[in-house]
Amino acid sequence: MTDSTAPLPSIAPPIRRSPLALLVGIIRNPLEALPRAVFDAPLVHSRVLGRDRFHVVEPSLIQDAFLDNADALDKGPELKRTLGPALGRGMLTADGAHWRWQLQSAAPIFRHERLLAFLPAMLRAAEETRDRWLAKCDDAKHGDGAKVDLGHEMMHTTFDIIVETMLSGRANIDVAKTEKAITDYLAPTGWVFALSLLNLPDWMPYPGRARMMAASRYLRGQVTRIAAARRAEPRGARDLIDLLLSASDPETGRTMSDSELTDNLLTFITAGHETTALGLAWTIDLLTRHPEIEGRLLAEIEQVTGGEPLKPEHIGQLNYTRQVFQEGMRLYPPVPIIARVAARPFTLANRAVPVGSMVYVPIYALHRHTALWDRPEQFDPERFAPEQVKARHRYAYMPFGAMLEGVAILATLLRAVHVARIAPNAPKPIMRLTLRPQKKLWMRLIRRA
């Protein structure tokens, strides 16, 4: 069977939800606050606390809302209050002209040829992790392998890559402290979002607030130091810092202030490595449950490389490995929900969307929607075979992960080390802006023969 391209069923009737149940769900795990109908219907309309909420799941409606009516949507006070203390008014939180010129400033570093030039650095970082894993295997006292926290290992690897490629070197960043600061910052975001929906003041206390603010100060302090040093002594490295320093607003000609530079560097350092690391952790966990898929992935690597070391030119030929990573991010999208606020009224599927309405794309539900995907809960990389991708609407799949980087890391690590799961049950996903496992993904590493 192939994934369906037929129209989705009729739009779900409006539902009214208990405000208390909604707020409790958002605080505990925003995935639990999703209306159940989002996994079956194209559009779900609810009204809570006097505010309309639209969950958009039909791909053509997503295109209508987020592309055709993009100027009607604002990132809203909830997102800005949640991310603003750390990311300021960078690309994730800015709107309008301010967002556009910042995006244009960074766009050159994400051109395909530029990303290809980063492949050697990606492979070096992956090889460092591989060598560290092999050393752990050799040091293990028992024959069942070395125990590691898979999420931490992937965060470390992708952090190394983004610092090397975006900042031309580590710049004396403490990886462990930075990772902990990001985790501390994200942990209470459900509380922040819930309090924002209630229009309570920023100073309102909530569990984890002190750690969140301390994490924000640490992250901004570290990145401000890096940005100031580069502004004082430009390297001409043509990395992300250099591009942002030389960027100017096409309308006004102004360049980025120190604060704006920090906002955008921190956005890329945190969000950039977090999404790919989570995509990798979830994908490797899935492979531990599907040895037949892992076997096919390994066979492809050997066929492409001919048994030789993995090289940059091999990555583009690893088609099945790419499909595995794509399917991992379908089941566990690193960014599980996109939220916007209607800044002006517009119409969606013949329904009026008033000013102030919340408009969501629940990507987690989109990727598991019963009318878009056959056997949506099953791990099946064949969904991303070229003929199936061509037949699917472009907004049926919204992964938010660095594909080239993910494939390079998967191929490098899994070729050398077998990763075996310890916990018998599949991990529970929990949303902390990004989609993290509720508990650490403890795995055992076993050197391949």
The closest of 157, 410, 412, 414 to 309, measured between CA atoms, is 412
Residues of the chain with pLDDT under 70: 1-10, 12-16, 142, 169-171, 235-237
State residue 430's pLDDT score: 96
State residue 2's pLDDT score: 45
Burial of residue 70, with CB atoms counted within 10 A of its CB: 0-12 exposed, 13-18 middle, 19 or more buried: exposed
Long-range contacts of 31-36 (CB under 8 A, 24+ apart): 31/336, 31/337, 31/364, 31/429, 31/430, 31/431, 34/337, 34/362, 34/364, 34/365
3-state class (DSSP) for residue 12: coil
Element (H, E) at 415: helix 403-416
State residue 1's pLDDT score: 38
State residue 252's pLDDT score: 80
DSSP letters of 358-413? Answer: EEEE-HHHHTT-TTTSSSTTS--GGGGSHHHHHHS-GGG----S-HHHHHHHHHHH
Eight-class DSSP state of 108: G
**Secondary structure of 135-158 in the HEC alphabet?**
HHHHHCCCCCCEEEEHHHHHHHHH
pLDDT tens profile 394-425: 999 999 888 999 999 999 999 999 999 998 88
State residue 380's pLDDT score: 98
Choices 3.30.1540.20, 3.40.50.970, 1.10.630.10, 3.30.200.20: CATH for 69-335+398-447: 1.10.630.10
For residues 17 and 35, is the Cβ–Cβ distance under 8 A? yes
